[in-house]
């Protein structure tokens, strides 16, 4: 039996689909067990219960491989990166108590303990915890994940469709190497089938300079927006203003800093095969037509 945290969410859903298609049994731990989902009775849902890891251990009883996608994108209320680290440690403890043999843990490319990058720092801390745990492990490090439910690429397209101008932070020459969500799920499931301890990037076959990616998206969606360069603080201010209008957090400082520091590029041989340029071309008609709402996904249910 397998457990996928967040099987009704984004990446976790693709992992669960693959496991089920391969004839595997899947349960999920989720923040919202009652959420509408495509799996029906095929995926039994249990609530996260980070305060009581014994209860989570009971939920994980009989599980051989745990696929963990749980994380928070930004601090909001008590859902902070610090809390997400503590919660994940509780989950690891529960998995050990339940006798889970292997964990496939979703991290991020180039995790780093830099204090100014809490997202990347939390991921680095958790990688250490996973390596210390008494289970075999696979740590998967995606760059940026794209696909139907994607947030970043979709929302760049959303802005390019509607605004007269689009601000690129800095010189726009930093890199980004997105990975397709189906590739990400395939890599995770393949790693779940192994027994060795492994850490691997999940990155696509194309690396773009950020500005080139924005131009590619703009062309695909027929945007006439003027592309301008400005300092990072101005891009963050613009994103914050848009976030206020849309009731969301569009972009965080550490996401922008991580992007500009080339942390969303892998130094390994690409493990994803799907080209973002092909996917954008195939999805140009719908890309960015609707805003992808992070807060809507996790806080307004
Ligand atoms: N998306 C990307 O581009 C990207 C890039 C690099 C790394 N990653 C990593 O890939 C993993 C999966 O990302 P995803 O985008 O596919 O995530 P997701 O499906 O939106 O969420 C994954 C899990 O985290 C929980 N979660 C997310 N935000 C939360 C919040 N604010 N409060 C409480 N619970 C929250 C979800 O809860 P529910 O079960 O209630 O839905 C779900 O269980 C994460 O570890 C992320 O760090 C993603």
* Mean of pLDDT values over 203-224: 97
pLDDT for residue 297 is more than 90:
no
Residue 79 shares a structural domain with residue 92: yes
Sequence-separated (6 or more) residues with CB below 8 Å from residue 286: none
Contact 31, 38 (CB under 8 A): no
Residue 123 shares a structural domain with residue 215: no
Residue 237 shares a structural domain with residue 186: no
Across the chain, the runs of DSSP E, i.e. the strands, are 2-5, 26-30, 43-47, 65-68, 102-106, 136-142, 145-146, 165-169, 175-176, 179-180, 198-202, 208-209, 226-230
Radius of gyration of the chain (CA): 19
For residue 180, report the phi and psi dihedrals to the nearest 5 degrees.
-70, 140
* Mean of pLDDT values over 84-102: 97
Q: State whether the beta carbon of 122 lies less than 6 angstroms from ligand 1.
A: no
CATH of the domain at 124: 3.40.50.720
Residue 188 shares a structural domain with residue 242: no
Residue 110 shares a structural domain with residue 35: yes
How many residues belong to the chain? 301
Contact 179, 202 (CB under 8 A): yes
pTM equals: 0.95
| Cα gap 229→226, rounded to integer Å | 10
Into how many domains does the chain fold?
Answer: 2
Residue 182 shares a structural domain with residue 166: no
Q: Which domain holds residue 25?
A: 2-146+177-202
**Ligand 1 centre from 271 Cα, in Å?**
21
Measured from the Cα of 299, ligand 1's closest atom is 31
**Ligand 1 centre from 5 Cα, in Å?**
9
Residue 164 shares a structural domain with residue 280: yes
Name the residue at shortest CA distance from atom 47 of ligand 1. 71
**pLDDT of amino acid 198:** 98
- Summarize pLDDT for 43-79 with one digit per residue, the tens: 999 999 999 989 999 999 999 999 999 999 888 888 8
**pLDDT of amino acid 142:** 98
Helix (H, G, I), strand (E, B) or coil at 219: helix
């Amino acid at each position: 039996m397998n457990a996928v945290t967040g099987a009704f969410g984004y990446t976790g859903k693709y992992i669960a689909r693959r496991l089920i298609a391969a004839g595997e049994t899947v349960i999920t731990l989720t923040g919202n067990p009652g959420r509408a989902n495509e799996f029906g009775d095929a995926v039994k849902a249990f609530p996260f219960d980070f305060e009581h890891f014994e209860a989570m251990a009971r939920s994980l009883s009989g599980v051989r491989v745990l696929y963990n996608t749980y994380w928070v994108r930004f601090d909001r209320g008590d859902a902070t990166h610090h809390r997400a680290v503590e919660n994940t440690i509780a989950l690891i403890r529960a998995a050990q108590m339940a006798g889970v043999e292997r964990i496939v843990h979703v991290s991020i490319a180039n995790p780093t303990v830099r204090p100014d990058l809490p997202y990347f720092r939390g991921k680095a801390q958790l990688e250490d915890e996973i390596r210390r745990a008494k289970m075999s492990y696979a740590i998967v490090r995606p760059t940026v994940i794209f696909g139907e439910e994607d947030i970043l690429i979709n929302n760049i397209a959303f802005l390019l469709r509607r605004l007269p101008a689009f601000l690129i932070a800095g010189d726009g020459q930093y890199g980004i190497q997105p990975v397709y969500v189906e590739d990400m799920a395939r890599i995770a499931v393949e790693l779940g089938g192994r027994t060795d301890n492994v850490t691997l990037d999940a990155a696509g076959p194309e690396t773009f300079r950020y500005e080139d990616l924005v131009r590619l998206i703009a062309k695909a969606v027929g945007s006439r927006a003027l592309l301008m360069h400005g300092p990072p603080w101005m891009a963050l201010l613009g994103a914050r203003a848009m976030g206020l209008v849309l009731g969301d957090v569009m972009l965080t400082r550490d996401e922008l800093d991580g992007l500009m520091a080339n942390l969303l590029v892998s130094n390994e041989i690409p493990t994803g095969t799907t080209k973002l340029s092909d996917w954008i071309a195939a999805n140009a008609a719908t890309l960015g037509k609707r805003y992808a709402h992070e807060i809507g996904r996790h806080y307004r249910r």
